[in-house]
Amino acid sequence: MNIQNLSREQLQERLAVLNEKYNGYKSLELKLDMSRGKPGADQLELSNDMLDPALLGSFKASNGFDVRNYGILDGIPECKKLFAEIFGVPSDNVIVFGNASLTIMYDYIAQCMIFGAGAEPWAAQSGIKFLCPVPGYDRHFSILEQFGIEMVNIPTDKNGPDMDMIDEIIKDEKVKGIICVPMYSNPSGITYSDETVRRFAALKPAAKDFRVIWDNAYCVHHIEDTHDTLLNIFDAAKEYSSEDFFIEVTSTSKITFPGAGISALAASDENIKAIKSRMTVQTIGYDKINMLRHAAYLKNKAGVDAHMLRHAEILKPKFDAVLSTFKSELSGKGIASWTVPNGGYFISLDVCEGCAKRTVALCKEAGVTLTGAGATYPYGKDPEDKNIRIAPTFPSRDELCKAVEILCLCVEIAAIEKILG
């Protein structure tokens, strides 16, 4: 029953039925939260053994350094090695930071603003711009907005952002970079194709101080057995000698503990040198006890992959629940489309044009908190008001099923209201 084909009377009838159902939900006074990509309580239990002090042995890093004391700017060797394996780069091209890759990105852009990226400080160049593949991650946009960097939307499809458009726009030397999530993208869950990654590597920006913030937050976060693979950006960049354009980051926030993980950056020799020369003034070094704890617990990439299977076991039923309810409640009605990711933390739902805000508001009123409509676009402005980010991980499966039922109902109500005008 595609609602686009219904008569005005049929729509009114249908709306009355849906509203009755909706009011029924409202009376339950539910409080369900699908707003953020937070791991659920059961996922937090998975890494508790990492807190066993026995893992810390005599507190010595592999280079003999006592991790309890000051020192080691760029991270203990075994942690650099672990992230080097994950990134697929040499250890020398890795720096280990504190508990958030968000902070790495913020600090990197802050320092480009003040000191520049090998050229005049960005703050001294008026009207600079960043390209933002959309839908995208709201916290990326907040950083750029806080620094007053103009954001330009770049549409994305299943292969990644529109590279033809990017090639064209970067002829403007005011365009200083791109910020993106290349694997299991937030919120669509898509992974950039090999061709897209190669085109990133081949970019020829007019700006010599151009930077791509390659936020590989979900690099090992598979949910399905058949999982995506992402071409190594530094391997691809080597062919074009474009390594200096790329700053890759990741963290263990969704591997071990979101509140107490470790994060890391991979970059070219030149960029590592520049970053270290600045960070040596900002810190003596990040938390090395937590680094040793992570290295001893996760051991290597294989250890991380094994650990991620336990997360996937918890996450797959949640993603399946959302997707099967979408299928049963929304399919064939002509009111929504959505992505079916193999990993990551989100599903991207597109409702009818002009209906996202209304859908989210209806949900809110019925006790279901979603990520704000518009959040997946720079400045919170979805030009078509149709994208909603679905974050299925935090609620229990029962709560989630209830929340998605209500969401589907709200999607349809908003669509019919829109048609009826």
In the complex, the residues that contact a second copy under the rule CB under 8 A are 36, 38-39, 41, 44, 47-48, 51-53, 56, 59, 66-72, 98-100, 102-103, 106-107, 110-111, 113-115, 121, 123, 139, 142-143, 146-147, 253, 257-260, 278, 281-290
Q: Least distance (Å) from a second copy to the CB of residue 88? A: 27
DSSP track, 208-266: TT-EEEEE-TTTT-B-SSS------HHHHHHHHT-GGGEEEEEESTTTS-TTS--EEEE
In whole angstroms, how close is the CB of 100 to a second copy at the nearest point?
5
Taking the CA atoms of 254, 255, 259 and 265 in sequence, report the sign of the dihedral they define.
Answer: negative
Minimum CB separation from a second copy for residue 400, in Å? Answer: 17
**Minimum CB separation from a second copy for residue 73, in Å?**
11
Residue placing its CB nearer to a second copy in the complex, 111 or 191: 111
Q: What angle do CA 318, 381, 325 make, to 5 degrees?
A: 20
Q: 304 by DSSP, 3-state: which?
A: helix
Query: Shortest Cβ distance from residue 67 to a second copy (Å)?
Result: 6
CB atoms inside a 10 Å sphere around CB 124 = 11
Can you read off the two tokens belonging to residue 410? 């709200």
Our CB check for a second copy shows the closer of 108 and 200 to be 108
Torsion angles phi and psi, residue 59, rounded to 5: 65, 20
Closer of 67 and 236 to a second copy (Cβ) = 67
Listed in sequence order, the DSSP H helices in 88-146 are: 101-115, 138-146
How far is Cα 206 from Cα 105, in angstroms, rounded to an integer? 23
Q: How far is the CB of 156 from a second copy (least distance, A)?
A: 23
Nearby residues of 142 by Cβ (< 8 Å), 6 or more positions away: none
Question: Regarding beta strands 387-390 and 94-97, do their DSSP bridges make them parallel or antiparallel, or are they unpaired?
Answer: unpaired
Distance in Å, CB of 110 to a second copy, minimum: 6
Q: Strand 387-390 to strand 246-251: parallel, antiparallel, or no bridges (unpaired)?
A: unpaired
- Closer residue to a second copy (CB): 91 or 103: 103
> Could you tell me which residues come within 8 angstroms of residue 355 by beta carbon, excluding any fewer than 6 positions away?
335, 385, 386, 411, 414, 415, 418
- Give the shortest CB-181-to-a second copy separation in angstroms: 16
Please identify, using beta-carbon distances, which residue of 222 and 288 lies nearer to a second copy: 288
Between 48 and 229, name the residue whose CB sits nearer to a second copy: 48
Residue whose CB is less far from a second copy, 354 or 372 = 372
Beta carbon nearer to a second copy, 115 or 240: 115
Distance, CA of 122 to CA of 147 (rounded, Å)? 10
Q: Read off the tokens for 404.
A: 């998605």
Distance CA 387, CA 375 (A): 9
CB 58 to a second copy: min, Å: 11
Among 399, 212, 391, smallest CA distance to 319 is for 391
Q: Cβ closer to a second copy: 278 or 299? A: 278
91/197 Cα distance (integer angstroms): 22
Nearest to 371 by CA among 398, 344, 394, 339: 394
User: Please, what is the minimum distance in Å from the beta carbon of residue 24 to a second copy?
Assistant: 31
**Residue 315 or 416 having the CB closest to a second copy:** 315
